[in-house]
Amino acid sequence: MADDKSLPKIGWVGTGVMGASMCGHLLDAGYEVTLTTRTLAKAESLLTRGATWVKTPRAVAESSDLIFTIVGYPHDVREVILASETGVLAGCKPGNVIVDMTTSQPSLAVEIAEAAARREVDSLDAPVSGGDTGAKGGTLSIMVGGSGRALTKVQPCLDLMGKTIVHQGGPGAGQHTKMVNQILIATNMIGVCEALVYGHKAGLDLPTVLQSVGSGAAGSWSLNNLGPRIIDNQFDPGFYVEHFIKDMGIALAECRAMSLSMPGLALAEQLYQAVAAQGHGRDGTHALAFAIANLSGIDWLKR
């Protein structure tokens, strides 16, 4: 590894389910990290490992060369990056790179890139897929939109967080690719949950069923990683239901703008709205099993 003094200084905003692990990989590699997050307690593990706390995203940028953000919703992205007094961009210097890893609106990614360019700052939209498991293991898929020059600057950092880093195109292309990812997951999760409910009702031993179907043509990441959690009634979030509803809303809005009909996506969004209404908005996306089982009068937790 290069001498620590030769490494760019890292800024980090957001230490949620995935962000804390992702930032931790940079600390472990010897990067100097300045961070902020709304809830100080969520940053404690990083602070004890050497990160420095500051009060605002602007202060993060003022101490950093490369600034990463991963927050909840597009309005959060707008606030932490574009707020005129306290945002990341307000603290940037020419040559800095902003990397937003939140799943957000493609149009907002373009807006941020244009605002950054006016300050001679580069901006990348780099949403991720892989959930808490991928974040902890450094095996995320990272979809990048923006300039190749900026990507070259941050590539060593991304390599610590993910195993598949692909430059998808200009500003917004990373977010559009993430929408493709979420559309794939949305309908696949319906199939996973319906199949497990069917297997349960048929009296099968579900772990034994997974041994057969998980390695065949029906196998998927969701089935093999989240299927066992559903069976074991483990619904801690790798990715929140409420955040997935946000993502599907963005995808549906983009579909309307492009005059696309997406009936499968629309159905998944409605089923997930039902999951949230049943009190599972802060559970993992595999909590869709509750809504699917409930349609047939099955209480999944008490089955």
Q: Which residues carry out catalysis?
A: 178
H or E stretch covering 251 = helix 241-257
> CA 267 to CA 137: how far, in whole Å?
32
Cα–Cα dist 131/17, whole Å: 8
Distances (CA, A) of 122 to 111, 169, 173, 263: 12, 14, 15, 37
Q: Can you spell out the DSSP letters for 13-70? A: E--STTHHHHHHHHHHTT--EEEE-S-GGGGHHHHTTT-EE-SSHHHHHHT-SEEEE-
Nearest CA to 72 out of 149, 2, 147, 17 is that of 17
Sequence-distant (6+) residues with CB within 8 A of 279 are none
Query: Are 172 and 106 in contact, with CB atoms under 8 Å apart?
Result: yes
End-to-end CA distance of the chain, in Å?
52
Three-state SS at 235: coil
Q: In whole angstroms, how far apart are CA 286 and each of 29, 55, 282, 295?
A: 33, 35, 11, 16
Region of 34 on the Ramachandran plot (φ > 0 left; ψ -120 to 50 alpha; else beta) = beta
Residue with tokens 């057969």: 212
Of 23, 53, 20, nearest to 36 by C-alpha is: 53
